[in-house]
Amino acid sequence: MDNDLSIEKLFVFKFPTCTTNEDYALEIPIRIPYHGNVTEFAYRIMSSFKLPSYVETDLMDSLTENVGKWTQEYYDDRDDKLIDAAINGKLDVERIVKDWEKAYKTKTVEYAEPIGTTDEELFAAAYHRLVHSPSLEPILQAEHKYGKDVTEVIQIRDGEYEQLTQKQTDEMKLAVEALEAGSTEKSINEMAARHFEEQSLLQGHWGSRVDALKLEQRRQYRNWIMRLLEEQQTNMLPTPVESPMVPMPLAPELMSNNDSKTARNTSDMPQLEESFTIHLGSQMKQMHNIRILTGDVLDFCRTKNNGNMEPTPQRLQTALGLYSNDLCGLVLLSDNHLGSYSGITKELTSICQLTTEFHFPPIDEQLEKIKEDVKEAVAWRQTHHREGSDNQVKKSASSRSLQTGDVFISRHSNLAQVHVVFHMVVNDSLRSGDINSRCPAILGLRNILKTACVNDVTTITIPVLLVHEMTEDMTVAWCTKRAELVFKCVKGFMIEMASWGGAELKNLQFLVPKGMSEEVFGTLATMLPSIFRVSNPLVFKANGAPNTPKK
């Protein structure tokens, strides 16, 4: 029962003392109904007020009698009021009935709503079964063809955007130059408004066209997958049926230039890398593959277009692991602006929108859903940190946006090597500030590893410097110190993972930003095995006596 529905009673207990003839009076307020243990409460009273032991029985009896009497009176009075309200028509019977109905459905299996397999679960099971059968190749080819169709339409859209922008820029430039020859500020403002309207109309036109194309592709693809599974189960076909491809007419100039444009836009994969195999754990040691490499973080998301109708090997691996317990994750450092309009989230969104998402909601829908969830999370944080004594904690909790170290997650099936993206919020302080193991970003990494461990993410890529780009102020000493901190903290988190349960982190990749010299990269690569080394070996002399090396 809530405190606002309870009443307060004053418990008075009197007992004689041994030294005087006067009675000692004890007054204690009690909230009724009292939900604690009366016997325990009596002993707490004796301990708090240092009462003599000879009053124990009388105190226990008096407290039990009064609490019981007050509780019965409270419920009798409450029930009388409810009965009177029901007789007078002041009671909302419909609300009470609905509350009871909801309670029965959520708490009692007998009255719960029957929950069957959803369409999403059926499709996931069908896809997982088919990709582990001879149908894998045509499925990947169908996805690749669908992706090429969407990419080509988007390239046409971008071309029209560029043409319109250039036309409007030239028009505005001429109007500004002719300002003294008759043009007015009013006419220029009207031109700017017309340009904005033209941009909005073009954006709306192409947005609707791309969305319609993706929805149609998603419908065709899902129907084909279910039909393919049905025919294989009934007819035991050795070869799968053809995929329902509907070619789209494209401009002749794009038919010959698409592959070259995509090839130019796709960054090369990292060149510098080192791999190690380590064993972590105190008793039951677990083997992990650790890799350090340089490159662009979005290279793990981009799908290379190899100029033909064959899907890339990365897509093969992604498809096989999509509905498995060996998922691939990526840590992406972003700002606290939840949206696809700025920063690295905008670049990721552009990559995701180049192809159709057949298994999960589109990236923009996922971000919108996360925005709504963040409101509840921020409200919870504000409620639970109001009593904090640290001013910095209070200031952080009072913010209505995400803070450094907060993480939100998006799911993907149309990226090159990633199923799950962990978006960790960071700010500019990580570029120049001196951080330690209690930094919110480091704690964010711990939360990411824990989430990955309990959700079957067995391969994860982490930016080792907690930045995605190199700058001039990142000296050799800065890079070495930052990498050492991340290495040691991640090692501790991995050892801690053994007690978390869930999946085992098999592959850990540390990503270094592009632009790092080979010398600095070599320093970090040399530091990695020395930090992740578990223990020193025992050195035996010729006579067989063990000699433990000094630490």
pLDDT tens per residue across span 384-433: 665 444 555 555 555 667 888 899 999 999 888 899 999 999 888 887 76
Q: Say which residue, 406 or 434, is predicted with more confidence.
A: 406
Given this structure, which CATH class describes domain 273-382+401-532? alpha beta
Per residue in 163-212, pLDDT tens? 988 988 888 888 777 765 566 777 888 888 888 988 889 888 888 898 89
pLDDT, mean of residues 72-92: 87
On average, the pLDDT of the chain sits at 80
Do 529 and 276 touch, CB atoms closer than 8 A? yes
Dihedral of alpha carbons 449, 452, 458, 464, sign: negative
**Nearest Cα to 130, choosing from 220, 215, 245, 239?**
239
Mean pLDDT calculated for residue range 270-289: 75
Per-residue model confidence (pLDDT) at position 180: 59
Largest alpha-carbon pair distance within the chain?
A: 112
Looking at this protein, which amino acid is placed at residue 301? C
CA atoms within 13 A on the CB side of 95: 4
Q: Is pLDDT above 70 for 454? A: yes
Residue 483: partners with Cβ closer than 8 Å, 6 or more residues away: 464, 465, 510, 524, 527
The percent of residues in the chain predicted with pLDDT above 90, rounded, is 17
Q: What is the pLDDT of residues 492-550, one digit of tens each?
A: 888 887 777 767 788 889 999 888 888 888 888 888 888 887 444 556 666 655 555 55
**Would you say residue 341 has pLDDT above 80?**
no
The predicted pLDDT at position 182 comes to: 60
Q: What is the pLDDT of residues 30-66, one digit of tens each?
A: 989 888 889 999 999 998 888 888 889 999 999 999 9
pTM of the model: 0.69
Check if the beta carbon of residue 511 is closer than 8 Å to that of residue 295: yes
Q: What single-letter amino acid sits at 121?
A: E
pLDDT band for position 261 (cuts 50, 70, 90): very low
- Give the DSSP H/E element, type plus range, for residue 291: strand 286-294
Instruction: Please tell me the least confidently modeled range out of 150-154, 250-254, 278-282.
Output: 250-254
Q: Which two tokens stand for residue 368?
A: 């919108």
Residue 330 confidence (pLDDT): 93
Which are the contacts of 459, defined by CB distance < 8 A and separation ≥ 6? 326, 327, 328, 329, 505, 506, 507, 508, 509
Q: What is the pLDDT of residue 343?
A: 80
465-506 per-position pLDDT tens digit: 998 888 888 888 888 999 999 999 998 888 887 777 767 788
- Count CB-CB contacts under 10 A for residue 514: 18
Q: Is 89 left (phi over 0), alpha (psi -120 to 50) or beta?
A: left
Report yes or no: 288 and 495 within 8 Å, Cβ to Cβ. Answer: no
Q: State how far the alpha carbon of 147 is from the alpha carbons of 144, 150, 151, 278, 358, in Å.
A: 5, 5, 6, 39, 11
Alpha helices in 88-184 (DSSP H): 93-107, 119-131, 136-177
Q: What is the pLDDT of residue 304?
A: 72
Distance CA 386, CA 380 (A): 10
From CA 414, how far away is CA 319, in angstroms rounded?
9
Sheet holding 286-294, edge to edge: 273-280, 286-294, 507-512, 457-463, 327-334, 420-425, 407-411
Cα gap 223→57, rounded to integer Å: 77
Q: Cα(305)–Cα(256) distance, rounded to whole angstroms?
A: 13
**What average pLDDT does range 317-344 have in this prediction?**
84
**Domain segments of the chain: what residues?**
7-111, 119-234, 273-382+401-532
